[in-house]
A and B are shown apart, each in its own frame.
Chain A
Amino acid sequence: QQPVQSPQAVILREGEDAVINCSSSKALYSVHWYRQKHGEAPVFLMILLKGGEQKGHDKISASFNEKKQQSSLYLTASQLSYSGTYFCGTEIRYNTDKLIFGTGTRLQVFP
Protein backbone atom coordinates (compact mmCIF):
# COMPACT_ATOMS: atom_id res chain seq x y z
CA GLN A 1 0.00 0.00 0.00
CA GLN A 2 3.01 2.27 0.50
CA PRO A 3 3.69 4.38 -2.60
CA VAL A 4 7.08 4.07 -4.23
CA GLN A 5 9.19 7.12 -4.89
CA SER A 6 11.94 7.48 -7.44
CA PRO A 7 14.73 8.26 -7.53
CA GLN A 8 15.83 7.46 -3.99
CA ALA A 9 18.40 10.25 -4.06
CA VAL A 10 19.28 13.23 -6.23
CA ILE A 11 22.36 15.44 -6.21
CA LEU A 12 22.11 18.80 -7.95
CA ARG A 13 24.05 21.99 -8.50
CA GLU A 14 22.25 25.23 -7.81
CA GLY A 15 20.11 26.17 -10.77
CA GLU A 16 19.56 22.63 -12.01
CA ASP A 17 16.17 20.99 -12.32
CA ALA A 18 14.87 17.74 -10.82
CA VAL A 19 11.80 15.53 -11.00
CA ILE A 20 10.64 13.24 -8.20
CA ASN A 21 8.04 10.59 -8.94
CA CYS A 22 5.51 8.91 -6.67
CA SER A 23 3.67 5.79 -7.83
CA SER A 24 0.91 3.83 -6.17
CA SER A 25 -0.58 0.41 -6.79
CA LYS A 26 -3.92 1.73 -5.55
CA ALA A 27 -6.26 4.27 -7.09
CA LEU A 28 -5.62 7.63 -5.49
CA TYR A 29 -7.91 10.36 -4.34
CA SER A 30 -5.21 12.85 -3.50
CA VAL A 31 -1.47 13.23 -3.26
CA HIS A 32 0.30 15.40 -0.70
CA TRP A 33 3.94 16.49 -0.89
CA TYR A 34 6.11 17.26 2.13
CA ARG A 35 9.74 18.23 2.61
CA GLN A 36 11.78 17.28 5.65
CA LYS A 37 15.06 18.97 6.42
CA HIS A 38 17.62 17.11 8.48
CA GLY A 39 16.59 16.95 12.12
CA GLU A 40 13.32 18.76 11.51
CA ALA A 41 9.67 17.84 11.13
CA PRO A 42 8.17 17.35 7.66
CA VAL A 43 6.63 20.52 6.26
CA PHE A 44 3.70 20.67 3.88
CA LEU A 45 4.34 21.76 0.28
CA MET A 46 1.14 21.12 -1.65
CA ILE A 47 -1.89 18.92 -2.18
CA LEU A 48 -3.18 17.64 -5.49
CA LEU A 49 -6.69 16.29 -5.74
CA LYS A 50 -8.15 13.78 -8.15
CA GLY A 51 -8.69 15.49 -11.45
CA GLY A 52 -5.20 15.63 -12.91
CA GLU A 53 -4.45 19.13 -11.75
CA GLN A 54 -1.06 20.70 -11.61
CA LYS A 55 -0.05 23.05 -8.86
CA GLY A 56 2.83 25.39 -8.33
CA HIS A 57 4.61 26.88 -5.38
CA ASP A 58 7.42 29.28 -6.30
CA LYS A 59 9.61 27.15 -8.56
CA ILE A 60 8.24 23.90 -7.20
CA SER A 61 5.25 22.40 -8.97
CA ALA A 62 3.55 19.04 -9.17
CA SER A 63 1.22 17.05 -11.36
CA PHE A 64 -1.17 14.23 -10.60
CA ASN A 65 -2.10 11.60 -13.16
CA GLU A 66 -4.92 9.59 -11.62
CA LYS A 67 -5.05 7.12 -14.51
CA LYS A 68 -1.43 6.18 -13.97
CA GLN A 69 -1.85 6.48 -10.19
CA GLN A 70 1.18 8.66 -9.93
CA SER A 71 2.33 12.14 -9.13
CA SER A 72 5.48 14.02 -10.05
CA LEU A 73 7.15 16.89 -8.20
CA TYR A 74 9.12 19.33 -10.34
CA LEU A 75 11.89 21.46 -8.84
CA THR A 76 13.04 24.17 -11.21
CA ALA A 77 16.23 26.20 -10.92
CA SER A 78 17.00 24.54 -7.60
CA GLN A 79 18.22 26.55 -4.63
CA LEU A 80 20.32 25.46 -1.65
CA SER A 81 17.19 25.70 0.48
CA TYR A 82 15.58 22.91 -1.52
CA SER A 83 17.86 20.34 0.09
CA GLY A 84 16.03 17.78 2.20
CA THR A 85 14.01 14.62 1.91
CA TYR A 86 10.77 14.80 -0.08
CA PHE A 87 7.85 12.56 0.78
CA CYS A 88 4.63 12.01 -1.07
CA GLY A 89 1.59 11.15 1.02
CA THR A 90 -1.26 9.35 -0.66
CA GLU A 91 -4.92 9.11 0.18
CA ILE A 92 -6.71 6.21 -1.44
CA ARG A 93 -10.28 7.00 -0.48
CA TYR A 94 -12.28 10.19 -0.41
CA ASN A 95 -13.00 11.64 2.98
CA THR A 96 -10.62 9.54 5.03
CA ASP A 97 -7.66 11.86 5.48
CA LYS A 98 -5.55 8.79 6.15
CA LEU A 99 -2.15 9.49 4.65
CA ILE A 100 0.30 6.79 3.68
CA PHE A 101 3.70 8.20 2.91
CA GLY A 102 6.17 7.07 0.28
CA THR A 103 9.69 5.89 0.77
CA GLY A 104 11.21 9.35 0.42
CA THR A 105 13.65 11.00 -2.00
CA ARG A 106 16.74 12.65 -0.61
CA LEU A 107 17.69 15.81 -2.50
CA GLN A 108 21.01 17.58 -2.03
CA VAL A 109 21.74 20.89 -3.73
CA PHE A 110 25.34 22.10 -3.83
CA PRO A 111 26.65 25.57 -4.75
Chain B
Amino acid sequence: GAGVSQSPSNKVTEKGKDVELRCDPISGHTALYWYRQSLGQGLEFLIYFQGNSAPDKSGLPSDRFSAERTGGSVSTLTIQRTQQEDSAVYLCASSLGRQGSGRKAFFGQGTRLTVV
Protein backbone atom coordinates (compact mmCIF):
# COMPACT_ATOMS: atom_id res chain seq x y z
CA GLY B 1 0.00 0.00 0.00
CA ALA B 2 0.93 3.64 -0.16
CA GLY B 3 1.54 3.97 3.55
CA VAL B 4 1.33 2.18 6.88
CA SER B 5 -2.25 1.22 7.58
CA GLN B 6 -3.64 0.58 11.05
CA SER B 7 -7.01 -0.72 12.07
CA PRO B 8 -9.24 0.02 13.75
CA SER B 9 -8.64 3.75 14.01
CA ASN B 10 -10.62 3.86 17.23
CA LYS B 11 -11.47 1.14 19.70
CA VAL B 12 -13.52 1.40 22.87
CA THR B 13 -13.48 -1.68 25.04
CA GLU B 14 -14.59 -2.69 28.49
CA LYS B 15 -12.04 -3.32 31.19
CA GLY B 16 -11.05 -6.98 31.22
CA LYS B 17 -11.72 -7.63 27.54
CA ASP B 18 -9.04 -8.59 25.02
CA VAL B 19 -8.29 -6.41 22.00
CA GLU B 20 -6.37 -6.90 18.78
CA LEU B 21 -4.79 -4.04 16.87
CA ARG B 22 -3.64 -4.53 13.32
CA CYS B 23 -0.81 -2.99 11.32
CA ASP B 24 -0.18 -3.31 7.58
CA PRO B 25 3.32 -2.00 6.88
CA ILE B 26 4.56 -0.57 3.61
CA SER B 27 5.23 -3.35 1.13
CA GLY B 28 8.88 -4.40 1.19
CA HIS B 29 9.63 -2.93 4.61
CA THR B 30 11.34 -5.54 6.73
CA ALA B 31 11.37 -3.61 10.01
CA LEU B 32 8.17 -3.02 11.96
CA TYR B 33 7.75 -1.19 15.26
CA TRP B 34 4.96 -0.72 17.76
CA TYR B 35 4.90 2.34 20.00
CA ARG B 36 2.43 3.58 22.58
CA GLN B 37 1.61 7.23 23.10
CA SER B 38 -0.39 8.25 26.13
CA LEU B 39 -2.17 11.61 26.12
CA GLY B 40 0.39 14.37 25.72
CA GLN B 41 3.27 11.99 26.24
CA GLY B 42 6.18 10.72 24.20
CA LEU B 43 6.54 7.61 22.09
CA GLU B 44 7.02 4.55 24.28
CA PHE B 45 8.75 1.68 22.52
CA LEU B 46 6.88 -1.62 22.77
CA ILE B 47 8.24 -4.17 20.30
CA TYR B 48 10.34 -4.36 17.14
CA PHE B 49 10.37 -6.94 14.34
CA GLN B 50 13.22 -7.23 11.86
CA GLY B 51 12.82 -9.73 9.04
CA ASN B 52 12.89 -13.29 10.31
CA SER B 53 14.84 -12.46 13.47
CA ALA B 54 13.35 -12.95 16.89
CA PRO B 55 11.42 -9.82 17.84
CA ASP B 56 12.78 -7.39 20.42
CA LYS B 57 10.05 -7.46 23.07
CA SER B 58 11.95 -5.46 25.65
CA GLY B 59 9.40 -2.65 25.72
CA LEU B 60 6.26 -4.66 26.38
CA PRO B 61 4.92 -3.40 29.72
CA SER B 62 3.45 -6.68 30.95
CA ASP B 63 2.71 -10.24 29.89
CA ARG B 64 -0.78 -9.09 28.93
CA PHE B 65 0.80 -7.60 25.82
CA SER B 66 1.92 -9.71 22.89
CA ALA B 67 2.53 -9.19 19.21
CA GLU B 68 3.12 -11.29 16.18
CA ARG B 69 4.03 -10.68 12.62
CA THR B 70 2.85 -13.13 10.02
CA GLY B 71 4.75 -13.76 6.81
CA GLY B 72 7.02 -10.85 7.48
CA SER B 73 4.21 -8.43 6.74
CA VAL B 74 1.04 -7.80 8.76
CA SER B 75 1.42 -7.46 12.52
CA THR B 76 -1.12 -7.81 15.30
CA LEU B 77 -0.70 -6.37 18.78
CA THR B 78 -2.86 -8.15 21.34
CA ILE B 79 -3.71 -6.80 24.77
CA GLN B 80 -5.36 -9.27 27.10
CA ARG B 81 -7.53 -8.36 30.07
CA THR B 82 -7.34 -4.67 29.25
CA GLN B 83 -6.92 -2.14 32.05
CA GLN B 84 -7.75 1.56 32.07
CA GLU B 85 -4.06 2.44 32.04
CA ASP B 86 -3.82 0.73 28.65
CA SER B 87 -5.80 3.62 27.15
CA ALA B 88 -3.51 5.33 24.64
CA VAL B 89 -2.79 5.72 20.95
CA TYR B 90 -0.92 2.72 19.60
CA LEU B 91 1.31 3.62 16.69
CA CYS B 92 2.87 1.26 14.21
CA ALA B 93 5.82 2.18 12.00
CA SER B 94 7.81 0.40 9.34
CA SER B 95 11.13 0.97 7.61
CA LEU B 96 13.32 -0.62 4.99
CA GLY B 97 15.28 -2.13 7.81
CA ARG B 98 18.74 -3.44 8.32
CA GLN B 99 20.67 -2.26 5.28
CA GLY B 100 23.22 -0.17 7.00
CA SER B 101 21.46 2.14 9.35
CA GLY B 102 19.71 5.39 8.87
CA ARG B 103 16.47 4.14 7.45
CA LYS B 104 13.61 6.45 8.16
CA ALA B 105 10.46 5.08 9.75
CA PHE B 106 6.99 5.69 8.34
CA PHE B 107 4.20 5.84 10.88
CA GLY B 108 0.59 4.82 10.60
CA GLN B 109 -2.23 7.03 11.87
CA GLY B 110 -2.51 4.94 15.01
CA THR B 111 -5.29 3.18 16.89
CA ARG B 112 -6.83 5.14 19.72
CA LEU B 113 -7.71 2.65 22.43
CA THR B 114 -10.06 3.63 25.21
CA VAL B 115 -10.71 1.22 28.06
CA VAL B 116 -13.86 2.01 30.03
Contact = CB atoms under 8 A, between A and B. Distances in A.
Interface string A10-41: 00000000000000000001101010000011
A110 interface: no
Interface in B91-105: 91, 93, 95, 97-98, 100-105
Interface stretch (B14-22, B43-51, B67-75, B76-84): B43-51
Nearest to B103: A97
B25 interface: no
B98 A97 contact: yes
Interface residues of B, number: 26
26 contacts: A2-B42, A32-B104, A34-B105, A40-B109, A41-B107, A41-B108, A41-B109, A42-B107, A44-B104, A44-B105, A44-B106, A47-B102, A47-B104, A49-B102, A87-B42, A87-B43, A95-B100, A96-B98, A97-B48, A97-B95, A97-B97, A97-B98, A98-B33, A98-B48, A101-B35, A104-B42
6 closest A-B pairs (Cβ-Cβ)?
A101-B43, A41-B107, A44-B104, A104-B42, A103-B42, A47-B102
